[in-house]
Structure 1
Amino acid sequence: MASEIERRSSVSVAVFGTVNELHGFVVPRCCNRVRTLTAPFPLNLLPNMNLRFLIACSLLCLLSSLPATFAMESSSNSRPHEGAHGDVNADDRATDAGHSFHGEAFNEGPRQRAVKASGMAKIHFPTSTQSDEAQQFFEQGVAQLHGFLYLEAERSFRQAAKADPELAIAYWGMAMANANNPKRARGLIDEAEQKKDKGADKREKLYIEAHARYLPKFGDDAPEDDVDAKRKRAERYIADLEKLLHEYPEDIEAKAFLVLRIWLSDREGVKLASRHAVNALLSEIFAVDPMHPAHHYRIHLWDSAHPKSALESSAKCGPSMPGVAHMWHMPGHIYSKLHRYADAAWQQEASARVDHAHIAQAGLIPDQIHNFAHNNEWLIRNLLFIGRINDAVDQAKNLVSLPQHPRYNTLKKRGSYKYGRERLLQSFTEYGLWDELIQHSGGFYLPFTSDAVQEEELLGWLAVAHFRTGKAGRGAKTLRTLIRRRIALETQLLDLADKSAAKNSKADKQESGSDDDSGKEAEPAEKAVTAEELRSHLKALRPIIARASAAGATHRKEPEKVKTLAEKAKLDALIKAQWLADAGDVESALEITKSERKKREGQVRPVAILVDLLWRNGEKDEAKKQFETLRTLAADADIDTPMLNRLRHIAKFAGVQGDWRIKREPAKDLGERPPLESLGPFRWEPNQASSWEAKLPDGTPTHSKELSGRPRLVVFYLGFGCLHCMEQLHALSPKLEAFQEAGIEIIAISTEDSETLTTGIDDFDKPISIPLIADPEHAVFKSYRCWDDFEDQPLHGTFLIDSNDRVRWQDIGYEPFMDVDFLLEESQRLLTLP
């Protein structure tokens, strides 16, 4: 922290524990501003703030226990329900600070305003609204639904509802945008149903009722949602959409959503009997609008069945809505299935660039975007198929370096970090970059982790890398470490079996009355690993040991052991072929490689290995022939990598000097492809933090530039009256020194003015040195998007900002971020990024 701020604030902030700790009182945690609820009582005359707060909470308990009629009268000054996005003053409702005034369903999702986005498809979906703004944002939301851009679709629908709070169909849109969250969708469609009789036309009501009938019920009295119930709901939804089309046969949006529903319902037990029939329905849409984003749905329709049928839609999908990354991603499915991996890689890169541009504009972190991680890991796989190994490695490293967050992206989730780690290992191992693997093991990109299976996976490959680079001693040592782990697990499993047998024997004796110790006090049960967990761990570890052992057998030139161990290891067939050849069995290696070449049509790696093995087996003419095929396949490949570099002598034999790649001519069925650079950056980069001006508790102005040059954690909290905020500061307090040792200062910015801030500071007893800053006009809150634009209230926020004033990590929400240990560890990780 800047010494000037420390000098001028020089405050000690006391942060109390949870409300439950206050003198044994148990009170609800659901206050927005306790001062607001207790305004009629002269609590400010009491000398101690903790005592004032205790009495305030007691009064809140008293109010909550009064009859409902009294509670309603006592809140008569609150504004009537104005819709989830009407203007409501934060102090007018007894709601937790940061929480929506309209229920749990509105806590999650986007809470910052939408903008009229570029690159959206033009959709015609008439509604009953009289607001041009509401209509425009509603149609933008429908377009985004078609692109599965769910976060932004919901934001657009919320903006439509902000302009017209009684527009019931906007709440239908919000429910549709929660396709992956049925519980939230249920709450949102219930809101639509409540509003549909206040002006919605017949068509809108049919849309709302169809989705309401499809979504499951929740609650203690809800029917069980088993497989049969899901199938029946899906069948009814299809029937309801067809009913809508009977009434409105020209509604191409209804046709598009019907196509989507038929495809999705195939997963819910409603067999998709005829893809051609569904394709005919799509043709009706394209007859009206040739560039309708339903091209997305045609790709899904034919992806697994007959990918060539979707080539036309693959050419039009991205251009139909260029501002949505997923629309560029989808053609990659078709090109991959057709073994056109260079075209697929182009699509995935285009998608990544659009996502990166959108993330920067919307102020998000990457894994908040639906399918972001999947798109990027698929890009890496395609890059490997075409031999762009350097870009594959860089992209995998980029995924590892992205901000982790418990909700979106951790080693245990299928987010960027896990995918990046997996694809980095895949890149190193498939292309034989063993020195690079050794170099990165235990470093930033491939650290050893607390997850035993992940750590053993890395140790196994590290042992392989040592054997493959001739360091047999080190490889054997690492292999012994893995074997010891296996023995330890097997010993634990035997010990559990002994305990179980002893327990059963004891039970038998007790049943016969020979050993009655019923009067003994039971010892507290210890949380221990189960036999099932041990077996699962062993199941994962044994192939890892087999793989490392196979590499050792390769080093010792023992081909038969390689074969046996590779089978146990479930080793990639091409790696197995290379190891067999290196162990001396080139014939078996060639047999495997020829088979894999047929299975992996269009990929660089199998052909490169085949060329090498043919040459090593003395089949030079056939090697030369296959090399000619490779020259075109490897048009984009990095030929200086070990696998391709070793083919230089074969290129010389074929009469080719220097760069032996042959440029690939673009296919003629690709459609419009803009320059990739025009779509956005290839890699995600953190945004610059907004500069700001605010005041210290004594009223002295301060500026963000005083903090530049040092990493800092900036906490946005909603005043001393917000219990959850106080709990967050209370949780941060013991970790202040650890953050400072890591070179990270902490400041907290409050919604309160300097006078209120000073009063709070003076009245608290337990000091921690967190400099507090007053932002009563909420300008700083708004510049960091810690503001609900739909309900006009502040939100909690936590930001890690580096010494170059870039936002490296963030959390904005209806509750403060509480996992301080995670935050400290992640902050240190991000700030040590190479």
Structure 2
Amino acid sequence: MLSRLTLSLFVLLGVGVIVRAEEEPLPEGHSNHGEAFNEGPRQAGYLMEGQGSVDFPITTNSTEVQALVNQGVAQLHVFFYFEAERSFRQASTLEPDHPMLYWGMAMSNVNNAERAKGFLKVARDKAEAAQLSRREQLYLDALSAFYKEDGDDKSRRQGWLKGLEKIVQEFRDDLDARAWLAMVTWQNGRQDGIGSREAVSLLIDSVIAKNPLHPGAHHYKIHLWDKQDDTQALESAAKFAEASPGIAHAWHMPGHTYTNLKRYADASYQQEGSARVDHAYMIRDRVMPFMIHNYSHNNQWLSESLTKTGRLNDAVLVARDLVEQPRDPKKNNAKSGGHPQREGRRRWSEALITFERWDDLLDATASGALDWSDEPIEEVKRAYTLGLAHAARGDLNLLDDQIATLKALLPPTEEPSDTAKADETKTDETKADETKADETKADDDSQDKPKPAPKPPGLDSALAELEGHRLLLTGETDAAFERFGKANGMRRESLARLLLAAGRTDEAVAKVKQAVERARNEVAPLAAQVEILAAANQIDDARAAYLSLREIAREADPDLPVLQRINTLLTTWKEQDGWQPPALEPRSDLAAASRIDLNTVGPLTWSPFPAQPLEGVDTDGITHRLEDYRGQNVLLIFYLGGDCAHCMEQLIAFSKDIDRIRDTGTVVLAVSTDTLDRTVTLKNNGEINFTMPLLSDPELTSFRRFGAFDDFENMPLHGTFLIDSQGNLRYQDISWQPFLDVDFVVSELSRINRLLGRIPGPVAASR
């Protein structure tokens, strides 16, 4: 009888198709509990600091289970769903038949209905044999109403709300039910209208009265009043991070309140705290940035807020960090709007434009640091930013190059042609007849012609602004400002400066006033107003604007070009009539009083963490140690033995492309769960040439060390790791299925080399 190893190889060689018999185990890496358990955290949970204080009693005699449940519920309230699921999973290792632990896993998957339903089914199945309390049964019923198969979205949401209401009615001291009732009322209000926002706010206040630091209460109050009346949430904005200091989202959410109130320094403080907490968590628990679903959102917003307060250097640092972080084919790729690399490029270039750092912008592009992709939306942004820099330097030829790049992105129908010019001489009747004929022909041809690519957003505005700059440089002033009028994305203070330079002083003053009104409490437009008012000889108004600027620019970088120019103005004023501003008063509001030193929270930016040590013997008896490969990259593949058909597919894919991988200066090592004897049999199979060393780890020591192990089910997992030449872990994929994207690996290794300034030579073939 053929071994499973031989069968796996035959399948991959096309010799035959093997169908898994029902009595055979699931494919390697798959959870034995069902599909819902494949995803999510599969490493052990623990009691973490700063998650929030709640009391959510369940029927248990285990203090550890209760502590993990309390932690999981607190994490649910702060939308820390990945770790909430881990908390409930960890508790289930102690009490695997407790239905409420699977209820908690379902609650942790609000963004994945199929997984939530899978966990909820387990919870209901286990509830049949469990002795649930009335309160626990009501929680299970309420969530079941939300995920019922029949009924429309509105009825399901109402069922969830009514279920929570019933808990509140029967258990008046259940603060979590009250908080969730407020949350669901706010969420349902998006579709149906919230009714009385004040009534929901009073419900939240009743929770805070009993638990002043209830994380859910402060969280939902911020959401409730977001962009409605944010002053109502100021107390919660000041308290939320204190309620759950170990969760980044608790720091981030107050940034909504402060941003809406144009308090950008406070918003920056909160968002910076969020970034630092996230980075401390990533380093401690070895988590990749792209694994946190709102990480990009938090950090691009931080960069934007820092720019508005004039903290340009930190804004660029945060944005650049987003660009340079690990990529991922699904969660951080060039085509995905809103993911770290694209958001980082956007905020980085915007920050440099805002404060006229043209040389920095050109250098970041020329060096490849900005790493623009070839997606049309980014091609527009790249050409636009470069065009502005060349215009500022008066380089007409290079500006023309960027204008040409933008025009090339216009859909073909928008290109002027001789036919279009000839149409201008035709009568309306002729045009009407031809239009009708064209429509008929278009209907006939519609099945044959591909639709033209849509125009990238922002293209028209970018082209209008660059063409306006070109007209200015060639002395066509009126035409230039007419063209600027079509550039709806143009910064108003930039236009005001151009109006001033063209001698249109009154228009410049009016435009910069508009800029300040539209971008209240932002450093860049207010600084421009100081300059323009002074140039217009409106000295008293310029000095008043400076006093406002000084208040919001307390944390601004002093070397900003605009601030250096204003310092020259201040010197002139002092020399002319002795004017100097009074001393700044210290801030004394609630937000300022609650601040701590953020350096104690965690690092501002992400950095790769050192790879764990690894040592193993290959099929030739050679010992490989990770530390021996310093100076070279290492691609480390953990596979689940020769019986795993998908693992064989992975090894074959990477074996076929081994030369491309080695050309990036990378050594490939594959570590197996098999014994060394079985690994030797696989290596010497006589059919497939595995071109990388195959190491044996039957004790799973390295699997556990690298986290390629399911602690809940005590089983190994597939793992792919990229380790740079300095020994730092740059990328990891740990999953129930093997990673097969060779092109991504080659691309990411090449990018890592660029980040480290390496020009690697090819790695010699392994023995």
TM norm. shorter chain > 0.5: yes
1:801/1:807 contact within 8 Å kept: yes
Distance 1:44-1:741 versus aligned 2 partners, 3 A rule: closer
Name 2:136's counterpart in structure 1.
Answer: 204
Mapped to 1, the partners of 2:469 and 2:5 lie a distance apart of 78
Deviations 1:691-726 (A, max 9, x none): 122222245543222222311111111111111111
Q: Which runs of 5+ in 2 are unaligned?
A: 420-433, 757-767
User: 1:504 Cα deviation (Å)?
Assistant: 6.0
Deviations 1:503-537 (A, max 9, x none): 9659989xxxxxxxxxxxxxxx99x7513x3xx22
Match of 1:638 among 557, 565, 570: 557
Say which is worse superposed, 242-251 or 539-548, in terms of deviation. Answer: 539-548
User: 1:424 Cα deviation (Å)?
Assistant: 0.9
Q: Structure 1: which amino acid aligns with 2:548?
A: T
Mapped to 1, the partners of 2:314 and 2:444 lie a distance apart of 65
Name 1:755's counterpart in structure 2.
Answer: 677
Mapped to 2, the partners of 1:744 and 1:338 lie a distance apart of 51
- Alignment pair present for 1:431 and 2:431: no
Name 1:679's counterpart in structure 2.
Answer: 601
User: 1:804 Cα deviation (Å)?
Assistant: 1.3
Mapped to 2, the partners of 1:627 and 1:259 lie a distance apart of 44
1:49/1:764 contact within 8 Å kept: no
Bigger relative contact order, structure 1 or 2, given CA contacts below 8 A and separation 6+? Answer: 1
Match of 1:410 among 330, 333, 336: 333
Name 1:452's counterpart in structure 2.
Answer: 376
Match of 1:338 among 249, 255, 261: 261
- Alignment pair present for 1:388 and 2:316: no
1:796/1:816 contact within 8 Å kept: yes
User: 1:585 Cα deviation (Å)?
Assistant: 2.3
1:559/1:580 contact within 8 Å kept: no
Distance 1:49-1:602 versus aligned 2 partners, 3 A rule: closer
- Alignment pair present for 1:741 and 2:663: yes
Mapped to 1, the partners of 2:297 and 2:719 lie a distance apart of 27
Match of 1:546 among 464, 468, 478: 464
Match of 1:278 among 188, 200, 208: 200
Matches of residues 41-80 of structure 1 in structure 2 within 5 Å?
41=1, 43=3, 50=9, 61=19, 64=21, 75=23
Name 1:420's counterpart in structure 2.
Answer: 344
SS in 2 for 1:99: coil
Distance 1:324-1:462 versus aligned 2 partners, 3 A rule: same
Match of 2:520 among 601, 605, 610: 601
1:49/1:763 contact within 8 Å kept: no
Matches of residues 147-546 of structure 1 in structure 2 within 5 Å?
147-199=78-130, 200-215=132-147, 217=149, 229-267=152-190, 269-293=191-215, 294-413=217-336, 414-486=338-410, 488=412, 490=414, 529-531=450-452, 533=453, 536-537=454-455, 540-546=458-464
SS in 1 for 2:732: strand
1:698/1:755 contact within 8 Å kept: no
Mapped to 1, the partners of 2:397 and 2:64 lie a distance apart of 71
2:670/2:692 contact within 8 Å kept: yes
Distance 1:651-1:189 versus aligned 2 partners, 3 A rule: same
- Alignment pair present for 1:581 and 2:500: yes
Distance 1:276-1:51 versus aligned 2 partners, 3 A rule: closer
2:320/2:370 contact within 8 Å kept: no
Q: Structure 2: which amino acid aligns with 1:400?
A: V
SS in 1 for 2:279: helix
2:9/2:645 contact within 8 Å kept: no
- Alignment pair present for 1:713 and 2:713: no
Provide the TM-score with structure 2 as the length reference: 0.90
Mapped to 1, the partners of 2:732 and 2:5 lie a distance apart of 39
User: 1:403 Cα deviation (Å)?
Assistant: 0.6
2:30/2:38 contact within 8 Å kept: yes
Mapped to 2, the partners of 1:44 and 1:305 lie a distance apart of 63
1:602/1:633 contact within 8 Å kept: yes
User: 1:334 Cα deviation (Å)?
Assistant: 1.4
1:554/1:583 contact within 8 Å kept: no
Mapped to 1, the partners of 2:481 and 2:58 lie a distance apart of 67
1:694/1:703 contact within 8 Å kept: yes
Distance 1:691-1:506 versus aligned 2 partners, 3 A rule: closer
Name 2:743's counterpart in structure 1.
Answer: 821
Deviations 1:327-382 (A, max 9, x none): 11111111222222111111111111000001111211112113111111111111
- Alignment pair present for 1:667 and 2:603: no
Distance 1:236-1:630 versus aligned 2 partners, 3 A rule: same
Name 2:69's counterpart in structure 1.
Answer: 138
Name 1:621's counterpart in structure 2.
Answer: 540
What is the RMSD computed on CA atoms of the aligned residues?
Answer: 3.0
2:615/2:626 contact within 8 Å kept: yes
Mapped to 1, the partners of 2:42 and 2:450 lie a distance apart of 42
Mapped to 2, the partners of 1:810 and 1:662 lie a distance apart of 52
Distance 1:252-1:543 versus aligned 2 partners, 3 A rule: same
Name 2:431's counterpart in structure 1.
Answer: none
Distance 1:322-1:364 versus aligned 2 partners, 3 A rule: same
1:555/1:583 contact within 8 Å kept: no
Match of 2:610 among 658, 683, 688: 688
Deviations 1:774-797 (A, max 9, x none): 111001011010001111111111
SS in 2 for 1:746: strand
Name 1:32's counterpart in structure 2.
Answer: none
User: 1:809 Cα deviation (Å)?
Assistant: 1.0
Say which is worse superposed, 542-551 or 792-801, in terms of deviation. Answer: 542-551
2:29/2:717 contact within 8 Å kept: yes
SS in 1 for 2:670: strand
2:611/2:723 contact within 8 Å kept: yes
SS in 1 for 2:669: strand
SS in 2 for 1:807: strand
Q: Which runs of 5+ in 1 are unaligned?
A: 1-40, 65-70, 76-92, 224-228, 510-524
User: Number of aligned pairs?
Assistant: 734
Name 2:704's counterpart in structure 1.
Answer: 782
Mapped to 2, the partners of 1:659 and 1:752 lie a distance apart of 78
SS in 1 for 2:109: coil
User: 1:733 Cα deviation (Å)?
Assistant: 2.2
Q: Structure 1: which amino acid aligns with 2:692?
A: I
1:386/1:633 contact within 8 Å kept: yes
User: 1:621 Cα deviation (Å)?
Assistant: 3.0
Distance 1:51-1:394 versus aligned 2 partners, 3 A rule: closer
Distance 1:703-1:626 versus aligned 2 partners, 3 A rule: same
User: 1:558 Cα deviation (Å)?
Assistant: 4.1
1:234/1:270 contact within 8 Å kept: no
User: 1:604 Cα deviation (Å)?
Assistant: 1.1
User: 1:486 Cα deviation (Å)?
Assistant: 3.0
1:159/1:790 contact within 8 Å kept: yes
Identity in percent: 35
Mapped to 2, the partners of 1:106 and 1:113 lie a distance apart of 14
Q: Structure 1: which amino acid aligns with 2:558?
A: I
Name 1:103's counterpart in structure 2.
Answer: 34
SS in 1 for 2:405: helix
- Alignment pair present for 1:555 and 2:478: no
User: 1:743 Cα deviation (Å)?
Assistant: 0.9
SS in 2 for 1:296: helix
Q: Structure 2: which amino acid aligns with 1:470?
A: G
Mapped to 1, the partners of 2:678 and 2:437 lie a distance apart of 66
SS in 2 for 1:713: strand
